[in-house]
Structure 1
Amino acid sequence: MSAIDLPGWTHAYSGKVRDLYIDENTRDLASADRVLMVASDRVSAFDFVLSPGIPGKGELLTTLSLWWFDQLTGVPNHLVADHEISDDGTVNDLIPDAVAGRAMLARTLDMFPIECVVRGYLVGSGWAEYQRSQSVCDVPLPAGLRNGDRLPEPIYTPAWKAPMGEHDENISFERTVDLVGADAAEALRSLSLEVFSRASAIAEARGVILADTKFEFGANRNSGVITLADEVLTSDSSRYWDAELYAAGDDDRLASFDKQIVRDWLSEHWDRSASTGSGQAGPPPELPQEIVEQTAARYRELIERLTRS
């Protein structure tokens, strides 16, 4: 995960997909009042960063996040102006040309250690858990639901954000109260459900179903206002389906506009149970070009479906 040399900026952190940069005159990330968030073309699955990346993915994720932030009027978000106007009226871009199109200039926040997951449909790990317990993350559900069924109402199923290299952990709402306090926990749940509802209606009007998603929030360091942060409603953080295929009950009705193609290929070509001797699975195989191209096409199709007028 090599950093890019960006004049005026210092690399501060790299996640699986995103790299964070701070102003070169700022001591560290904790003291920075703004951060340059750069989305790479890296793709991850099963907690591994894979090779090769998905060409153009970083720009697609950033474009979609910016579009959704624009749709969600009234919801505080972490964006700050990406340009400034000099005394003579000249507009100066603050995002370096080398990362233009795949970077956001964002306000630093006191992030909550919670992934705010909202599920509108029963699928994925939720479906697997439902078959065992007729519940998802301690939320009881009606009997008789099938894989892919729409839930009676969206449910909030938070997860604890584990440190880098560890697995995130599904937790109960009561546990979020322990982690962030009762007021913040209730606000995170309420805001997550509200944004999910608004986004679902916008997506459905464009022939797309938002099956589930995760949000991340932080507190504004000056005002304490809970603020939507990181990426939002992208193919990496959300599961989207084609509404027409879903309604028709087609075999591909649950085919999602994301990296599921990658996960499916890995499941068939990589034995994650094989040990390297250290108790860890061996590294995943390199993705074939056709899988890379198919995944890139799904990312592009989603953004075209959502953002076209």
Structure 2
Amino acid sequence: MRADRLVALVLLLRRRGRLSAATLARELEVSTRTVLRDIEALSAAGVPVYAERGRHGGFALSPGFQTELTGLNHDEALALLVAGSRRGAQAFGLGSALTSAMLKVVDALPEGNRDTAAGAAQRLLIDPETDLLSRRLIAEDVPAAVVAEVRRAVFAGRKLRIHYAAVGQSPKWRTVDPIGLVTVRQQGYLLATRSGADRTYRLSRVLAAEALAEPAQRPDRVDLDRIWRERSTRFRTGGDPFTVLVRINPARREDLVGTALAVLAEETDADGWLRLEVTFQDARHAEWALWQLATNAEALAPQSLRDSLRNRAAAIVTRYTAPS
């Protein structure tokens, strides 16, 4: 671990020039005391690192301390830099490893390619933390030791024992055959089988994990994209769907259809509005979808859904009628 950190420290100084001990500590996720010890170790090993005193001082490397990698062209380097901006690695506990890899790649590029690739990458942003409505994506916190053990079992093809807290249930230990890892909007999932049956586990609900010595029962080759689509479809259509009859402004039809599971019937009323029979996962899902459409839609049936929407609207009216 320390050897990796020393390499990362050198690469940070190569790439960014003079840096303070506090900045290095923040980048390496260690204390300033650890940084100072690492600097002493590098100097003792012959690495030309020196300190600059003063308010704007810090540590730097002697000029010319550089190696080059000529095997990457500009587009290849740009592709790596863009990939490095994606946060999927965070969900799998690989954030620091990805940062270290990007430092090594950028540092090893010929100077001309390095500057142009880095400049171009600054003009591309992948998966920002918030969307245009400033809705922030909440990254789930998974202990590093847990996700590291899950990764080890997935990559080594070993059975995995997990202490899992399913919704509404007490945590239980279970042994699974891991297939792969998926990240969706910063939420990580383990795709696995248990006693031959498909299982999907949310990483944030794995309280502890242990990779076993026994080989996992799984195919040698896997198409995670296909498996995820199939499991997503089963999840959306599983159980008894909630059927709703709704009138909707034609301009908002796609908004409704995009949130529903299926459209069972559709016709046009005399006033031009559409009358659709659609299904949702449950009553809560239907209420949420129709509430987003405000006065552009009206639930005609079932009556329970109409009552829920009316009560919700009445609560809003009461809130804004009362003095602040």
TM bin (shorter chain): under 0.3
Structure with the higher helix share, 1 or 2: 2
Question: TM-score w.r.t. structure 1 length?
Answer: 0.20
Q: Whose Rg is larger?
A: 2
Q: Which has the higher contact order (CA 8 A, sep 6+)?
A: 1
